[in-house]
Amino acid sequence: MRLRVLVAGAGAVGSVVGGLLARAGHLVALLGRRPHLDAIAARGLAIEGLWGEHRARNLVVAASVEELAGPYDAILLTVKSYDTADMLAAVAPFLAADGSAIALQNGLGNVERVAAAVGAERALGGRVIFGAVVPAPGVVRVTVFADPIALGSAVGGVAASEERARAWTARFASAGIPTEHTDALQAHLWTKVFYNAALNPLGALLGRPYGALAADDDGRAIMDAVIDECFAVARARGVAPLVPDADAYRAIFYGRLVPATADHRSSMLQDLERGRRTEIEAINGCIWRYGCEAGIPTPVNATMTRLVRFRERS
C-alpha cells in the first residue's frame, strides 16, 4: 500500500528515512530548508554511506507549511527538540484521522508533546541511534549506526497506537531502514539519553570524536559521572532503563556503542561550529531539571549544560 508521508524537518536523518520510504513506493513530502530541497527537486535525493547507495526521485519538497497538501498517513517529526512545539502546531492539522505522528528525535519530552498534540492513539516515537550528514545539497550520508530504530507507542497500553507502531515498524524495515518494534519506548529513549548526555556535550566542548573521549582517563571519568547521575534521575522518575544499573550500562557503552561510533563528531559540535542552537536543554539540561524536581543532585550534567550554553552565546 502506498501511503502519504510527511517528513517534518528534512535534515540529514529525516532525509535518509524519507528517501528510503520513497524508494519503497510511498508518497513522501519533505518539509525543510533550501538549497537542500532545490537540489532534491532538480536531481533527486542521493543516499550514501553505511546503508548503501540509493537515489530517490519521486519526492515532493516544501519549504513552508503553506506548500503542503495533506492529509498524511504519517508525519515524521525530525526537527531539533527545541522546535518540536512549533512544528507540531504547524503540521498536526495535516495528519489523517487514522494517521500516525512519529517522533524520531534526540532528547526527552518529545513523544509527550506529540501525544498532547494529536492524541495518544496516533502518537508514536522512535529511539534513533544512527547518524547522518548532508555533505552537499541533495545528498545525505549515513555515517554511524549503533542499533536499529526502536519504534513504539508514545503512551504505553493504548491498543490503537501499539497496532500502528507494529505496522510502521514493518514499513520502515521493508524500506531498508533497520527498525524493531518495542513496547518499552521510554526505556529506549532514556537509555539513549545516557549515551547522548555522556558523549554529545563533551565532544562539543573538546572538539574530539567519541572514541577519543573514551580513550582518555579524564574524559571517561566525566562520562562515568554523567551516566551515574542519569541513572539516579531515571529511577527517581520511575523509569526502568534497559539495563539494571549504571555499571551494566557502562559495559555496553564502552564495549559496543562507543566503538561503533568512535569516529563520530558530536552533533552539538557541528551545531556550535555553524553558529546554531544545540539540543543541550533536551539532554543534559533535562536531566538537571528532572533532578532538581526529584531532589537528586546532578552537578556534572548541570556543568555540561552551563558550558554548552556559554559556547552557544559566544
Domain residue extents for the chain: 4-183, 187-313
The per-residue pLDDT for range 75-95, each reduced to its tens digit, is 999 999 999 999 999 999 999
Quote the pTM value: 0.94
Instruction: Specify the pLDDT at position 19.
Output: 98
Is residue 80 flagged as an active site residue?
A: no
Neighbours of 295 (CB within 10 A): 7
| Mean pLDDT score of the chain | 96
pLDDT above 90 for 1: no
> Residue 313: CB partners within 8 Å, gap ≥ 6?
none
Q: Which of 162, 73, 171 is nearest to 121 (CA)?
A: 162
Is 125 within 8 Å of 4 (Cβ atoms)? Answer: no
Instruction: Specify the pLDDT at position 314.
Output: 86
Report strand pairing: 123-127 vs 149-153: antiparallel
The per-residue pLDDT for range 130-154, each reduced to its tens digit, is 989 999 999 999 998 989 999 999 9
Topology given in CATH for the domain delimited by 4-183: Rossmann fold (3.40.50)
What is the amino acid identity at position 61? V
Residue 125 pairs in a beta bridge with 103, 152
* Catalytic one of 192, 250, 264, 289: 192
pLDDT above 90 for 68: yes
Topology given in CATH for the domain delimited by 187-313: N-(1-d-carboxylethyl)-l-norvaline Dehydrogenase; domain 2 (1.10.1040)
Is 56 within 8 Å of 23 (Cβ atoms)? Answer: yes
